[in-house]
Structure 1
Amino acid sequence: MARRLVRTGIQLSLFTAFILLIVLFLDNRFSVLPTSIHGHLPMHYSGFVITDVTVTTCSSLNPFTSCHMDSDVWHRVEKDLYLRSGWTSAAYVQFQRKKEEELGPDDKVVIDLKIGRLTPPTEYSGKGEPEIWEPRPGGIWLKRTASRHASDSGQAVTYVDVLFGADAVDPRPNWEIKDTPLLLDGWTEKLETRLSIRRGNPTKSKKPVPRINENGKFKVMQLADIHLSTGTGHCRDPIPAEAIAGQKCEADPRTLEFIERLLDEEKPDMVVFSGDQVNGETAPDAQSALFKSVKLITDRKIPYAAIFGNHDDEGDLNREQLMAIYEDLPYSLSTAGPEDIDGVGNYIVEVLDRGKSTHSALTFYLLDTHSYSPDERQFRGYDWIKPSQIRWFKNTAQSLRRKHQEYSHIHMNMAFIHIPLPEYRTSGKYWHGAWDENPTAPGFNSGFKSALEEEGVLFVSCGHDHVNDYCMLEQDANEQPSLWMCYGGGGGFGGYGGYNDYVRRVRFFDFDMNTGRVMTYKRLEWGKTEDKIDEMMIVDGGAVKGPNTAS
C-alpha cells in the first residue's frame, strides 16, 4: 500500500511538473510585455543586410510547436501577426542577417520582397543566371542574389518590420510598406498584417529649425484628440453620419482626409499634437496608429511637436517607447525632456526670427499632463502638473528671459498641454466658443496657471474635452487681462463627439511678429468648411487683449 502511494505521488508530481512546464512554455511564447514590444528596434545597427525571411507559427493546443528559432541565426520581429487576437495561435516574422564584411561565397542577400498568391515573374538582368523568386510562408516571395556587391548597391534589404491596417503607412526614410497583407490565413488578411522593408542604413533625422517667414508671419495648427486606431477605426458620433451620401464612415480615413484638406488650405508652418493622437483602446499596435498621425505632415515637410494625452499609452507602448519613435521621425521637434522631472515630453520649441537670425521670436512650452489621478479617493478624475514640472518651467523661462530680450521685435511665450487646468471650469469669466461639456480638469490645483502668468505666457491651449472649443480670459488682481486659456476642439472621429450635433474641428493660431499680434480661429470638417469660426484677436502689441479688442 505504501509503495503504491509513493508511486502515485511520483506520478502526480511528474504530471504537475509537466503541466507547469507547458504553462511556462506557453507563457514565454505568447505573453507580450510592454518592454518587449519593440525589442527589435535596437537591432537597427548599420552594416547588416538581410539574407533570409520567414514566418513561424505556434499553437497553444500543440505544446511541441514553437515560435522561437535559433537566436544565434534568426531574429524575431516582436509583434504577433495576429495582434494577440488568435486565442490558440501566434505567428512571427523572423529574419537572418549578417554584417556585410562577414558574407561568405554561399550567402545570398535579399534585394526585394513581394507578397502574393502567384509567383512573381522571373526577371532577367542580362548577366548570369535569371533572378528567381523564392517562396516563404504567408505569401512572401524573396529575390536573393549571391553577389556580394548587392549588399552595398542600395538594393539590399537591411531590415523588416510589421505594421497593421488597410491604411497603414510608414513615414520613416528608406522604408517601403507592402500593399498586400500577409496571406498566412484569414486572420492576417482581416487584420491587414503588412510588412515594411528598409533599404540602406538607418538615417538619423536632423531636427528642423522652425523660423518666422519673411513677411513676419507664422501659423500653428493644433491637432487635438485625433484618436487614431490600428486599422481604419470605428466612427463615434459622426456629424453627419455620412460625409458623402452612401459612403460609410470610417474613423481614421475621415479624420485624415479632414487634416489633409486643412494642411493644404491653411499651409501651417508648424503642427502641435496636443495629446490623444493614439486611441490606445483600439490601437493594439500603437506604432501603426502613430505613423498615420504624422505621415501627412512629414510628406509636406512641416515641423511638428507632440505631447501625450491619457489614451496614447493605453495600447502596447508606454510613453517612453512612443516618444522614442517620435524623436527618430523626420521633421519631429518632439523630445522626452529632462529625466529628473515628472512625465515624458516636457520641452520647449524655439521659433527663430526670419532670415539667418539666431534670435528666438516665439517660445512654445509643451508639458505632460499625465493621465489619471494618483489619488482617486481624494481627487477623482485626472492627474495634474507636478511641482518638478513647474520648477522646470519657471527656471527655463527665467533663464531665457535675457536672451529673448535681444530679439528686435516682441518675443512671445505660449504653452500647450492636454488635460485642462482647473481654472478652465470657472464660470463667470469671459469666454468665446463652444462650451458643451463640463471641463474634466484635475481635482487638485497645483498652481500652474499662476506660474504661466508670472512668466509672461500669453495663452495656453489644451485638448481632452472633445466638444469644448472655447477660449477663456483670465484676469489679474487689477482686473487686467493676463492669460487666455483655449481648447483645440476634438478633431478625430475615433473619439466621442455626441453633444449638440458637434462637428469636428481644428484650431489655428496666426502670429504676426510685425505687430506682436495673435489671431485664433477654428476650421470645421463639415458645413461651411471654408469659413473661419470664432475668429478673434487674443494678443496685440505682445500683450493679452480682452474682449473689447478680441472679438
Structure 2
Amino acid sequence: MARRIVRTLFQAGVASIICILFVWIVDSRWRVLPSALHRVMPAHHPGQVVIDITVKTCNSLNPISSCRLDTSIWHRVDKDLYLKKGWVSSAYLHVQRKKEEELVPGDKVIIDVSVGKLNPTMTDQGQDAERWEFRPGGIWLKRSSEPHASDKENAVTAVDILFGADAVDPRDGWSVIGTSLLLESSGEEQEPRLSVRRGRPATIPKPVPRINEHGKFKILQAADLHLSTGTGHCRDEQPAGYHEGKCEADPRTLEFMARLLDEEKPDLVILSGDQVNGESALDAQSAIFKYAGLLVERKIPYATIFGNHDDLYMPRWEQMAIIETLPYSLSESGPEEIEGVGNYVLEVLAHGSSKHSAVTLYLLDSHSYSPDERNFKGYDWLKKNQIDWFKKTANGLKKAHEGYSHIHMDLAFIHIPLPEYRDKELEKVGEWREGVTAPAFNSGFKDALVEEGVLMVSCGHDHANEYCSLSRNDAKQPALWMCYAGGAGFGGYGGYGGYHRRMRFFDIDVNEARITTYKRLEYGDLAKRVDEQTIVEGGRVQGPPPA
C-alpha cells in the first residue's frame, strides 16, 4: 500500500519536497489524508479559462524523453493516455490556463474543442471556421478572436481525461467529446476521451433525504456492480446467449439499474461496495462516473461504501474525494481517526419541514483482505475503533431521536458479510447458493448492532447469496435481520445454478414503523417482487412468514 501511494504521488507530479514530507501526511495506517489528497488530484481552479491544450508523448527507451512540459506554464492531467499499457510509450494531456483578469493581448481563449482526423472547417463554414488549430492526438481547438471574447458561457474552463467508449461525465457543466484521442492504442478500454467544462459550474446543494407526504421512503441497495474502464467483459451470463450472445457487461448492468430506477423510483440508492471492477478498471474515475451518471440524470441521492475490489488502482481516499463532490452524492469519507474510508451516518428526516430524524442509516467500511493471513485467512473485519465510533454515535443520537413523534428506526450497510451470516441454522428468506466469505475473526459488530437497537444490516460481496437471515436474542425473540443484496453486475461472477443478477429494495412506512424488503431480477419475470417480506413491524424486528 505504501509503495502504491508513493507511486501515485510521483505520477501526479507532486514536488519532491512533498515526497520528503510524506511521513507527515500519511497516518499510521498508510492512508493519504485529505489535505494531502487534494494536492494529488487534478485542480480546476475557479476564475480560470483554458488558453491551450496539447498532448506530450515520451519513450521509456529514450533516457532524455520526458512526458512533462514546463510546470510553470502547463498543468498536466496525471493519467497516462495509454493507461500504462503502451509498449514503450506514455502520453499525457497538458492544459494551459490563466485567470481571466490576467489575460493579455495575444491570449486567445479556447471556446470549442473537437477530436478527429479532419479539420472541423470541413463542416464549420461560418466566419470563425479559420480559427481551428490542430494539436497532437487529433485535438482541434477553436479560440476566441480577442481575450475579452471569453464570455463565461462558452469559454472552456477545465479539461479532464476519461476512458472507454461508454464514458460519461456527471459533473455539472462537463461533457465528453464523442471521439477518442487518436493514439496508437490497443484495447477498447484504452480509448482516452476529452471531457470539457464550459463556463462556471452551478452550485448544486446536497439533497436532504426525507420521508414523503405519505409517510414512505424507499431505498435501493445496489451491490457489486463491478464496472470497468470501457464496456467490460461479461462473466457467467444468464441466460446464456441473451442478446444474440453479445453481452457487454457494463451497458447491460447499467441498463438493468436504469430500469429499476425508473420503475421503482427510489428515494435513495445505497451502493454497498465493489462498484469498481478491480483489475479491469484501470481508471476508477471513469467507472464511478458511469453509475453516478444514471443517478445524477434522475436527481436521485446516493451514498457509497467500498468493497474489496474498488481500490486496486486508486486509493479509497482519492475515490471518495471524487464521489463527495458529485451532484446528489451524500457519501462521506468519515472521521480521519477511524479505520477505513466511508464510516458515516445518514439521517432521513421526517415529512415536511421537520428537523427530526425518522430513520438513521449507518454505513461502515468493512475493508478488504485480512491483515493477518497467518491467523485469520481471507477477509478483513470491522475494527474496534469503528465499533466504538458506531456505539458512541448511536448513543449520542438517541436523545435527539426521542423528539420524533413516531417510532424511530435504525438500519446499517456494509460490504463484507459478518461471521454470523455463516450460521445455517438461522431462519432464512431467499437463497444460500455459495459459501459465505465472511472474515475469520469476529470483532463483535453484530452484537454491537443488536445492543444499539439496529433492526437490519445488509451487505454484498457474495454475489449469488441473496437471503435474509434472522438472529434472535437470548429470549429467542427476533433481534436483527442480516441480509444480502445479491450481486447486480455482469462484470462480477454469477454462476451457482443459473443465478440472475438482482437488486434489493427496502420500503419504509413510518406511519406503521414497518419495513418491507424484496428483490427485483434482471431477467425473467421482470415485474415480480422476489421474496417480499416484512422484516420490521411496529418498530420491532419481525420474524419470517410461516413456511
Q: Percent of aligned pairs with the same residue?
A: 62
1:143 partnered with 2:142: yes
Question: How far has the Cα of 1:48 moved from its partner?
Answer: 1.0
Deviations 1:307-365 (A, max 9, x none): 00000001x21000010011000000000011111110000110011111111111000
Alpha-carbon distance between aligned partners in 1 of 2:242 and 2:399, rounded to the nearest angstrom: 51
In structure 2, the CA distance between the partners of 1:188 and 1:62, relative to structure 1 (3 Å rule), is farther
Equivalent residue, structure 2, for 1:176: 175
Residue 519 of structure 1: how far off its partner (Å): 0.6
Residue 219 of structure 2: aligned partner: 220
Instruction: Report SS of the residue matched to 1:313.
Output: coil
Task: Report the more deviating stretch, 55-64 or 182-191.
Answer: 182-191
Give unmatched runs, 5+ long, in structure 2.
Answer: 1-8, 20-30
Tell me what 1:399 maps to.
396
- Is 2:211 aligned against 1:240? no
Match 1:284 to one of 272, 282, 285 = 282
Match of 2:531 in 1: 534
Partner of 1:330: 327
Residues 1:313 and 2:311 are matched in the alignment: yes
- Trace 1:155-304 onto structure 2 (pairs within 5 A): 155-187=154-186, 191-203=190-202, 205-244=204-243, 246-304=244-302
Deviation at 1:130, TM superposition (A): 5.6
Partner residue in 1 for 2:25: none
Distance 2:297 2:432 in 1: 35
The 3-state SS of whatever aligns with 2:246 is: coil
Match of 1:43, SS?
coil
Residue 92 of structure 2 is matched in structure 1 by 92
Local SS of the residue matching 1:510: strand
Structure 2 CA distance for aligned equivalents of residues 431 and 530 of structure 1: 23
Structure 2 distance, partners of 1:222, 1:30, is 34
1:38 to 1:67, Cα distance in 2 relative to 1, 3 A: farther
TM-score of the superposed pair, with normalisation by structure 2: 0.91
Q: Which residue number in structure 2 is paired with residue 48 of structure 1?
A: 48
Matched to 1:397, the amino acid is: A
Q: Which residue is equivalent to 2:515? A: 518
Partner letter of residue 494 of structure 1?
A: G
3-state SS of paired residue (2:455): strand
1: CA distance, partners of 2:544 / 2:197: 54
Shift in CA distance, 41/158, structure 1 to aligned 2, threshold 3 Å: farther
Partner amino acid, structure 2, of 1:120: P
The 3-state SS of whatever aligns with 2:338 is coil
Matched residue type, 1:102: E
Q: Deviations over 1:155-205 (max 9, x none)?
A: 111111000001000010010101100112344877221000111235554
SS of residue paired to 2:458: strand
Contact persistence 2:211–2:349 (CA under 8 A): yes
1:77 maps to which residue? 77
Cα distance in structure 2, aligned partners of 1:37 and 1:285: 17
Unaligned runs of 5+ in 1: 1-26
- Of 344-353 and 401-410, more deviation after overlay is shown by 401-410
**In 1, are the aligned partners of 2:211 and 2:351 still within 8 Å (CA)?**
yes
Q: Deviations over 1:474-518 (max 9, x none)?
A: 000000000000000000011111101101010000011111111
- Is the 1:350–1:363 contact (alpha carbons within 8 Å) kept by the matching residues of 2? yes
- The count of aligned residue pairs is 520
Structure 1 residue 145: deviation in Å?
1.3
Please state how far the C-alpha of 1:28 moved relative to its aligned partner: 7.5
Is this contact kept in 2: 1:227–1:278, CA < 8 A? yes
**Residues 83 and 284, structure 1, Cα contact 8 Å, conserved in 2:** yes
Q: Is the 8 A contact 1:54 1:94 kept in 2?
A: yes
Q: Could you say what secondary structure the match of 1:298 adopts?
A: helix
CA 1:47–1:522 in structure 2 vs 1: closer, same or farther (change >3 Å)?
same
Cα deviation code 1:38-95 (max 9, x no counterpart): 8673521111111011111111233333211111111111011100000200011111
State the shift of 1:432 in Å.
1.2
Rounded to whole Å, the distance in 2 between the matches of 1:453 and 1:470 is: 19
Say if 1:29 and 1:527 are closer, same or farther in 2 by CA, change over 3 A: closer
Counterparts of 2:43 and 2:502, CA distance in 1? 40
Q: 1: CA distance between counterparts of 2:506 and 2:176?
A: 35
The answer to whether the aligner puts 1:153 opposite 2:152 as a matched pair is yes
Question: How much does 1:247 deviate?
Answer: 4.6
SS of residue matched to 1:172 = coil
Tell me: CA distance 1:297–1:389, structure 2 relative to 1, closer, same or farther (3 Å): same
Partner of 2:63: 63
Mean alpha-carbon deviation: is it higher for 399-408 or for 329-338? 399-408
2:106 corresponding residue in structure 1: 106
Equivalent of 1:411 in 408, 411, 418:
408
Partner Cα distance (2:405, 2:38) in 1: 46
Matched letter for residue 488 of structure 1: A
Q: Which moved more, 1:34-43 or 1:165-174?
A: 34-43
Counterparts of 2:498 and 2:245 in 1: how far apart (Å)? 19
Q: Is the 8 A contact 1:182 1:188 kept in 2?
A: no
Q: How does 1:347-386 map to 2 (within 5 A)?
A: 347-386=344-383
User: SS at the partner of 1:384?
Assistant: coil
- Do the aligned residues in 2 keep the contact of 1:38 with 1:78 (CA within 8 Å)? no
Do the aligned partners of residues 448 and 370 (structure 1) sit closer, same or farther apart at CA in structure 2, a change above 3 Å counting?
A: same
Provide the rounded CA distance (Å) in 2 between the counterparts of 1:511 and 1:278. 29
Alignment pair present for 1:485 and 2:485 = no
Residues 1:454 and 2:454 aligned together: no
Structure 2 CA distance for aligned equivalents of residues 62 and 446 of structure 1: 53
1:457 is paired with a residue whose SS is coil
